[in-house]
Every structure is written in structure tokens, then in C-alpha cells.
Amino acid sequence: MHSRVESRRNAVWVFGDQHRGQALGCHGDPNLHTPNVDRLAAVGLDFPRAVAGFPLCCPFRGSLLTGRYPHHCIPGHEYPMPDGQQTIAHVFRENGYETAYFGKWHCDGWKERDGRAAMHTVPRARRGGFDLWLGYENNNSPWDSWIHGHGRDGKEHPHERLPTFETDALTDLLIEWIRDQARRQREGCGRPFFAVLSVQPPHNPCIAPTEWMGRHTPGELRLRPNVPNVASVEARARRELAGYYAQIENLDWNLGRIRDTLAAEGLLDDTHLIFFSDHGDMMGSHGHFRKTTPYAESIDIPLIIGGLRDLYDGRGGRAENVLVNHVDMAPTTLGLCGIRPPDWMEGTDYSSLRRGGEPPEIPDSAYLQCIIPTGHAESVNRPWRGLVTRDGWKYVCFERVPFLLFNLNEDPYEQVNLAHNNRYRTERRRLQERLAQWIADTGDRFDLPEEV
């Protein structure tokens, strides 16, 4: 039974697009200075093995908001969330919370071939049930970003161009909203709140304000060991990473602004501040760029639960062996606020690892999927399924054909593919049997290899 005090906690999600898990100072990236994320991790709970079960914007976001696997929600790029699908916002509102969403949505199924998604109007009924929703469907131009939506008064807001760099301008809107919530709470008419800040950077194009771009020189960057010694790949990786790191440091600065606002308004003791990403970016590793591949640079994401100053002393640190997946984010956030996740959410509630109490049953692995390939350049062009295990293995297959097998304990950069080496046949069979169980348990459909 949760106490009333616990049930009144606020929660704020802050996440960027294509921010891979290792690209943080606290995760050992030598090219980055991320003091605010690092501080959040130091006094919060860091999940260094969190994954994007489908490393692509639309499917991840559908699972993030609903706690349902992509084959039950959004199965591919530019596919819509099912009509009438409940989200985490509906559950928070049913429990007396004020809810707000700022930024990238990408759940309405608009196809870019039909016109620029930044100017598409997401219908009111398809905005996830948030009290306030100011966002856009999709946009790959952070200096020309437009938002529309509705305010908490229900009034529609037409398209409006953000005045500055997207991450800065959207953070300004969230900060203004937080201050208004604090005022309302002080006046006795406020409610606990759940807010989301979803920004496009560090998604390509890899550009940021001049102040941040000037901090990184391509030739001075230290590349990952799995970036091949191929001149064209290395040159592109260095060029894009310089801007990518600038975008991440700008996002880190804005996270600090949010935390400082919560502290100044007296809300930090009562607010869970949760930082993560929707998937990563290969940035030249294994010769690949962008997402939808099963490699770590695409799959691994940051996930840090902070806030509440450090009231949960002893319940922070690093959850080294917990493979939090996209379907786990909504139930875990509800659990942090003392709300029981609804039965239609398929993920695991890991909130007790931060709040204390009975620990959850932690799965032995996380399920990975690419259901409908995008067909885009830089993307794997066929469906795949896979899993990553707590004991340090990753196995991925195409339909009827093994694809990847890595022993992550001795090969963390995934440079030795064992999928077609019969010395590892026993391990391959074990992992495929577990993968088959994931497919059955989640109600998915996929033709696994017959002989492994």
C-alpha cells in the first residue's frame, strides 16, 4: 500500500532523439562534458544497460507512451498509434495529475512524402490524452521548428515557429509551465504533475548553436574502437560526431536549467526527473550510421532516474544488470509516483529499485525487434528479432537465418560475430530457444531459423 505522500510525487521525462547510451561523461565517453546528467546519475539511479527494443523513433515512442510492444502499437516508421489507445497520460489524469507534453511526437502516422511533417496538424484526439500538448509530428530542422496543439484551457494553438534553437526553446516552454504549476500549488489549487520534454537533437543534422559547436574539433575526437579504419567512414564519423556532441552538451545544459527551476520553485524534493533517449546512432561503428541495427551503438540508451534531491539515500547508484526496455518506461514512471500500472501495459515496473520495497522479478533478457524496416539508406533492410541477456550475450536473426551472436563479456564492442561458428552451436541454440519464448510470450510472429 503506497502512502499518500508517495502518490503525490511529480514526474518529468526529458529525452532527446538518437542519443546513444555511451555518449555521456558518466558512461566514459572521453569527448563529452555532461555535468548535469552526470550529477543526476551521481545522486540518482543509473541504468547503464537500458535498451531501445526497437531502435526507431515511431515504434519506440508508441511503446514508451503505452507500455506495449511495437507489434501491438506502432510497428514501423510513419505508422500511427491505434485509434483509442490509452497512454500513460490517461492513467496519470485518472489519478488526479496535471499532464503536459512538449516537442516531438511522431505517433500520428504522417508520411513525409505527403508534405513536411513539421507543418502537419496532429488531431486533438490523437495527442495522447495530455491536458496540454504543444508539439509537432516530426522535424529534422532544429533551427526551423514549429509547434501547435492545445493549452490546459483547451484552446487550440495554431502552428508557431520557435524563436531559437529547438532544444532551448522547448525547454523555455517547459520551464514556464513548471513555474505556473509551482504557483498553482502554492495557491492551493495545483495538482501533482507529469510532464514530457521530447526534443529532436542530437538527431541529424548534427548542428547546434555556435557556443556549443565551437567546443569540438573533428580531428581531435577519440573514435570508438569498432569504427573501421576506412577513410570515408572515419571522416564522416568525425564530422558528424563534432556536431552530435555539441547537441548533447546543449541538451545537458538545458537539463540543468530544468533541475535549477525545480529547485528554485521548491519542487525538487517532490519531483522524479527522468533522463533517457529513444535509441542511438551508429556514428561509423562497424561502418554503419543512424539506427535500426541491432548493434550496441543503436540499441543502447541512457536512462537515469534522479530528482528528489537524494531523499532515497542508498537507493541510487548503478543498476548494472537490469535491462530496462522501452515497454518498461511507462509502468516504472507510474510506480515511482505510487500508481499501479494498468493491466494493458506489458512492461515491468522497476520503480522499487529507486523507491525501495519489494524488488520486481527481473527478466533474464530484453526482447529486440525490427518489425517493419524503413527501407531508408543507412538502415538494415529486412526484419529481425533478437535478445540481449543479463549474462552477457546478444543473439539476432533474420527470418530463417542467424545474423549476429556476440559474447559481450569478452567482446563489448561487438567485433567478433559468432553466429555462424559451430563452436558456439550450443549457445546459439540456447539463445534461440529463449528468443522463441519471447516471441510466443509477447504474441509476436516471426520465422526463426530451423537449424542453428
d(CA 335, CA 354): 10
Q: Where are the alpha helices (DSSP H) in 95-165?
A: none
Q: Of 349, 367, 366, 346, whose CA–CA distance to 358 is shortest? A: 349
Check residue 424 and give left, alpha or beta (phi > 0: left; psi -120 to 50: alpha).
alpha
Question: Do 310 and 45 touch, CB atoms closer than 8 A?
Answer: no
First-to-final CA distance of the chain: 48
Assess contact for 291 and 204: CB atoms under 8 A.
no
Residue 133 DSSP symbol: E
CATH number of 4-363: 3.40.720.10
Amino acid at 427: E
pTM of the full structure: 0.95
**pLDDT confidence of residue 308:** 76
- Give the per-residue pLDDT at 7: 45
Give the number of other CB atoms < 10 A from CB of residue 421: 12
Q: How far apart are CA 93 and CA 155, in angstroms?
A: 18
- Scanning 142-288, the segments in alpha helix (DSSP H) are 166-186, 210-213, 231-264
The Cα 102–Cα 282 span in angstroms is 27
383 cis-preceded (ω within 30 degrees of 0): no
Task: Provide the residue ranges of all domains of the chain, joining segments of one domain with +.
Answer: 4-363, 382-441
- Other CB atoms within a 10 A radius of the CB of residue 415 amount to 12
What's the number of CA atoms in the CB half-sphere (13 Å) around residue 53? 30
pLDDT value of position 412 = 97
- Cα–Cα distance measured from residue 12 to residue 101, given in angstroms and rounded to the nearest whole number: 10
Q: pLDDT digit string (tens) for 385-430?
A: 999 999 999 999 999 999 999 999 999 999 999 999 999 999 999 9
pLDDT at residue 120, rounded to an integer: 97
Share of the chain above pLDDT 90, in %: 90
Q: How far apart are CA 44 and CA 228, in angstroms?
A: 36
Residue where the block lists cell 563529452: 32
pLDDT on residue 317: 87
For residues 218 and 245, what is the distance between their CA atoms, to the nearest angstrom?
Answer: 10
Confidence (pLDDT) at 242:
98
Report residues of the chain scoring pLDDT below 70: 1-7, 309-316, 452
